[in-house]
Amino acid sequence: MTKRIYKCLKCGRYTLKQDRCPVCGGLARVAHPPRFSPVDKYGEYRREMRRMIEKLEGEK
């Protein structure tokens, strides 16, 4: 069984807990980026979504 390292979005600490940080209670996400594949079927959609989110954040 392999374990993943998670990083708290609130305080930036690393943990093995999957849902919440044991220190501050913030949300924890996987610390590693997704694997790269030159044949990425959904890369265009992901980049488009990122551009839309950046555009919406810029309007705030």
pLDDT of 18 above 70? yes
* Torsion angle in degrees (nearest 10) through CA of 46, 50, 56, 58: -170
pLDDT of 1 above 60? no
Handedness of CA 36, 42, 48, 49 (dihedral sign): negative
Q: pLDDT of 28-46, one tens digit each?
A: 989 888 777 888 888 889 8
